[in-house]
Structure 1
């Protein structure tokens, strides 16, 4: 039987027809940078890079599968997935496993963290809701959206898991904003936030005393914020992460110390250097120049995602792609901010850089959903 090269090439092209090439290229470059940095950060732990490569392969399969699923099909899973996720969060609150003072996991044959499901299910549910209300939207629809968002955010924050709660809240809030929420209603909240931050900074000597209780916050969350304002107040405790990460970033200089030559990382001064603080390892070895390249890749990722969202064929597609794209911005902003010492340490991974299968899978699913929206638009134009 004669081998038909052209037929095989056409078949391969059809297999990857769902991929948005610019977006796939950006993700590929970020994964390459991540593997290179992880190798340096994990010299003392053999096998970690191999584990991450397996995670990447699984993520690639999920990304490919979801990119080929029409958004109309995705809409059918919005309510069941959201309901299932909420049910699991309630089960965690009742029967969950407690580790390091947090109840975030549940054993259903395998141990899972249900809050990861809500990172996708919440914006999916909100996009479905506003798609159904298209053309007849009223002011109370935004209140309904806030309730849909508040339920998972409240359950996750209670675990407590402030980092994941922030990510779920941001992803959901972007859907509500893109659906038409007036910016005039957001401005007062932003002003209140600025006033609150300024007040904490101005009166930190008084309100950061051990006997002072902060409403709606755990003691460890209060301690993180107070340590952010003055890391030297607990240099060997909560402030250690921030101090060592800032030293690593600053010591990298304009061009960095070179790959595998970072002293802060290899002398074990940087905690969680393969996960939450991998940006400190990268900055020490590749310097300001490397940091600019990395930030450029993230900006290109966000720009491409927003382009796909703006050109989505349906309101559901536009809301879903827009919110998931801005979720990547939130991931990167919060992680780099906490490593650089301008935000509290909340345990948010750096997209496609940090080690870990669960977070990488969630990010891959998000990219696959964005590609699905792009594919629908291309099919309508062809």
Structure 2
């Protein structure tokens, strides 16, 4: 896993170098430093025992929930939304931490729940409360993309925990029926415009459709082999918005072409495949749910970002893991990687005859 991860992050640094007009600052240098710091953090996570990880589940969730409340009280504004806490030395986005935190706490909850109660409402109602509180706080910021990411990771844990399939079918039908109500009464005006743009991006190419139109032009103009490193016109001439964050894949595709895109998707495939292999090899329910949920969280980032920049999903502000510039998203994804490394160490110790406390 580390080999494709290092290649992907290094490739992301090259793309960010180009996005800054051929300069290490302000993107590429900080990108590399953050990755190095969080890689050490991931290495420390691997030392945790199963008992310690389960003991920390509820405290981590509670602290993150308090931070989300703090965002509503004294959060910093940015991009028209209130999502960050200004700590002086960094701007922290607590909603990002909640993505792995919700997976951890739900994995602990279902690992502690007697098997005979999985088909009862006692398996659903506490989990619904654990999910509903952070999702409501994140939607107030407002941040639809992050709230969907929290729900997705949590939903994967619920599904793999063995909750009845009819509950998921019912939730899906209820969600589909609620889409019109959500569009008119729950979404902010700018979010409604994003949905309209997704359905018909050419209707306003210089307004709400500008982002996705320029992204498609950048990706398409790269062709098979790209225009060459540091030769992208869309990003260098400022046609492509956010070339270093949300639309970093479009920046890459313009300069490296289809081959660059295949490399990026292939590297993510290796990392995600390794994550699922770790989950399948796990013997304990907590380990399986934790590894599967963390892998699903990374997958959501990748899938939504790639679909977004190619016009297959509305623009929701989801960065591309290990390539986009951003400390909070890098931290979240490295927490997921560190958690997977931790479960992998438990698996290896068990297979080698060692004992780890349950």
| Fold agreement, TM-score > 0.5 | yes
- Mapped contact 1:126–1:172 kept (Cα < 8 A): yes
Superposition pairs of residues 235-254 of structure 1, within 5 angstroms: 235-254=205-224
3-state DSSP of counterpart to 1:106: strand
1:169 CA displacement: 1.3
Distance 2:302 2:347 in 1: 28
Tell me which residue corresponds to 2:77: 98
TM-score, normalised to structure 1, is: 0.85
Tell me which residue corresponds to 2:9: 31
Distance 1:224 1:234 in 2: 11
Which of 113, 119, 122 is equivalent to 2:102? 122
3-state DSSP of counterpart to 1:214: helix
3-state DSSP of counterpart to 2:84: strand
| Unmatched tracts of structure 1, length 5 or more | 1-22, 201-206, 208-212
Tell me which residue corresponds to 2:308: 338
Deviations 1:195-236 (A, max 9, x none): 788xx8xxxxxx9xxxxx711111111011011112233322
Aligned length, in residue pairs: 348
| Unmatched tracts of structure 2, length 5 or more | 353-358
TM-score, normalised to structure 2, is: 0.91
1:371 CA displacement: 0.6
Distance 2:277 2:56 in 1: 25
CA RMSD of aligned residues (A): 2.2
Distance 1:54 1:93 in 2: 30
1:189 CA displacement: 4.3
Tell me which residue corresponds to 1:153: 135
Who wins on radius of gyration, i.e. which is larger? 1
Structure 1 moving runs of 4+ over 6 Å: 194-197
Tell me which residue corresponds to 1:176: 158
1:320 CA displacement: 0.7
1:194 CA displacement: 6.3
- Mapped contact 2:298–2:336 kept (Cα < 8 A): no
3-state DSSP of counterpart to 2:115: coil
Which of 232, 235, 238 is equivalent to 1:262? 232
Deviations 1:129-157 (A, max 9, x none): 01110434332112321221111111101
Distance 1:108 1:350 in 2: 24
- Mapped contact 1:313–1:376 kept (Cα < 8 A): no
Which of 44, 48, 61 is equivalent to 1:69? 48
